[in-house]
Amino acid sequence: MSKDLIKLVGYNLLTLTVVYVLTLLANIEFKWWIVIAMTSSSFIVSKYLENKNKKDS
């Protein structure tokens, strides 16, 4: 489980960095909480589907 947590934190940091740079380039307000919510929820859904596929096989 700790390996998944490290991946989640890494993905959040990577996504935050990319979105922050894009918002600077596009002059849009940066909302970090939305980025973390999107990245975390997509990671959780992908892990759920991965585990579900393992159980079905």
Per-residue pLDDT of the chain (57 residues; tens, 9 = 90+): 688 788 888 888 888 898 889 888 989 888 888 888 888 888 888 888 888 888 887
Tracing tokens 């989640």 back to the chain, one arrives at 8
pLDDT value at residue 11: 86
Query: Which pLDDT score, from 0 to 100, does residue 1 have?
Result: 60
For the chain, what is the domain count?
A: 1
Could you list the residue range(s) of the whole structural domain that residue 22 is in?
2-56
pTM of the entire predicted model: 0.67
Look up residue 41 and give its amino acid: S
Task: For 8-29, give one letter per residue: b (16+ CB within 10 A) or e.
Answer: beeebeebeeebeeeeeeeeee
